[in-house]
Structure 1
């Protein structure tokens, strides 16, 4: 597997099928944004009223409920894109083997929504991983604070805390991306084959693990650069330097409004990458070909 050719194939597939993939993914991502915005509005419009047991620094928004709310819709997008790659005979297709049971269309044209048992199980896997990682980050932050309190004189100054927080942020960013890469692959393989077999999936990529990581990191970095660039441009245009601090509602609308298109891009590119890798390395015998998909 060559990194440059695989990345070009993924972006080529997404470019050739941009509109069908957007139609496939926009509605679940919109529901993610809507639910997370409603959750933030309910919990954080009046922070003093939020029960402490709902809060955690390891999540965005800073409540572990966000992981549970978002994962069913992320699983839908992964399932829909993999289904399209496996079954749709169209220009730009890169996977020629059927491996995903067809998912049904929502009754409204242009919208896809399904909570089948397979998607719910995939959502459960995503939620468990995100909860574990989020609580690990929160625990890491508490350990850092405890260590600084034990080794530094009180009160702590920003100069004492800033280097450690920055280093921890970089580490968590890289570690989180690493975990997310393999989570998408294993969950995608579950949707692809119908069985959760991370060991078999790992063995199928024998000799290409680092290449797969590099490919996914390139995809993640592309989305992150585009998102940061747009966020900076919007911030400079809509929030002048001499303006008053924006309200909570304004900041929330900007945050989630900017998140939606990049959630679509991130999930579609990630699913297309996983589908390309699985189509190349998973043996045909591992595909779960259902009668509905074979017709």
Structure 2
């Protein structure tokens, strides 16, 4: 089992974020090659799911819908989990297996089907990735249903304490407070979820207690680092989304077509979901590299191109 260092070390938030960004900048191409295909498949599968379910909204079974998930259905958490786990595994493999600083090492092809290998493409559904995906999906489902239940309680509380019809002033302050609370709690859970998934891929064992002890004195610093990473991606995504929206939304104020909405949403989702996963995995790998020892059995050597 990975040993916890007896010497207490403290992360510097700014320095760690700078290290993560510097690593991603120096290894931008191999990280892109490792992550682009799983992110593309994730976006494609989510787009297909949305089209299948909401092509005729009146025919969608109510038990498939939930307001606690980004795409309005809890199936999205299950669909996205394997591809997110792939990106995490590939980035952590890259960080653990690069033999020299600045040397490009990228595993190419489809594992177990080498004769059909495609240069620049990596796809893998091994046991470790499926287990990591199971953990990701379980946490996302739990959080999503918790948010949906919170929404029902929120609406019931407003209806019980305010007269109908509800005015915008009655809802605005409570909705803002609820949004801030969900953002903080969700970011905290996501940071630790990513760390535990990365630790499982990094060490080869699921050891949340050992991971918690290893980060003694750095638990809030971990959350701060991950929040900064999330904020960087969010600023870039929504800034570009606003610019694209101003271009695609008609000047007369008419509602954009379904095609334009799909292009805006999933066109932006692919690169920025990939950026989010790569930066998050690089941050997790940087932190784990300071406190945990990679297990040789779980982090396999990458083949040179």
Q: TM-score, normalised to structure 1's length?
A: 0.92
Whole-angstrom distance in 1 between the partners of 2:301 and 2:76? 37
Q: Deviations over 1:78-110 (max 9, x none)?
A: 0000001001224348xxxxxxxx977321111
Cross-structure match for 2:131: 121
Which residue of structure 1 aligns with residue 177 of structure 2? 167
- Determine if contact 1:35/1:69 at 8 Å carries over to the other structure: yes
C-alpha separation in 2, matches of 1:22 and 1:292 = 19
1:239 is matched with 249
| Unmatched segments (≥5 aa) in structure 2 | 1-10, 111-116
For residues 25-71 of structure 1, give each alpha carbon's deviation from its aligned partner in whole angstroms, at most 9, with x where no partner exists: 00000011001101111111221111000000000100000000000
User: Contact conserved, 1:12 with 1:92, CA < 8 A, in 2?
Assistant: no
How far off its partner does 1:292 sit? 8.5
RMSD: 1.8
1:253 CA displacement: 2.1
Q: For 1:62, what is the secondary structure of its paired residue?
A: coil
1:191-243 per-residue CA deviation (whole Å, 9 max, x = no partner) reads 01111001100111111111111111111100000001100111112214314
SS of alignment partner, residue 160 of structure 1: helix
Contact conserved, 1:24 with 1:81, CA < 8 A, in 2?
yes
* Aligned match for 1:105, one of 102, 109, 118: 109
Q: Does 1:25 align with 2:29?
A: no
Q: Does 1:215 align with 2:225?
A: yes
- Are 1:46 and 2:46 matched, yes or no? no
CA contact (8 A) 1:82 1:272 kept: yes
Aligned residues: 284
Partner Cα distance (2:248, 2:257) in 1: 13
What residue number does 1:70 align with?
80
Find the aligned partners of 1:225 and 1:251 in 2 and give their Cα distance: 20
Does the CA-based 8 Å contact 1:205-1:281 persist in structure 2?
yes
Rounded Cα–Cα distance in structure 2 between residues aligned with 1:123 and 1:278: 19
Matches within 5 A, 1:250-261: 250-261=260-271
The alpha carbon displacement at 1:125 in A equals 0.2
Q: Of 50, 58, 70, which residue of structure 2 is paired with 1:60?
A: 70
Retained in 2: the 8 A contact 1:43–1:50? yes
How far apart, CA to CA, are the structure 1 residues paired with 2:200 and 2:299?
18
Query: Does 2:208 align with 1:201?
Result: no
2:3 alignment counterpart: none
Query: Contact (CA 8 Å) 1:13, 1:92: kept in 2 or not?
Result: no
SS at 2:68 equivalent: coil
* Residues 1:229 and 2:239 are matched in the alignment: yes
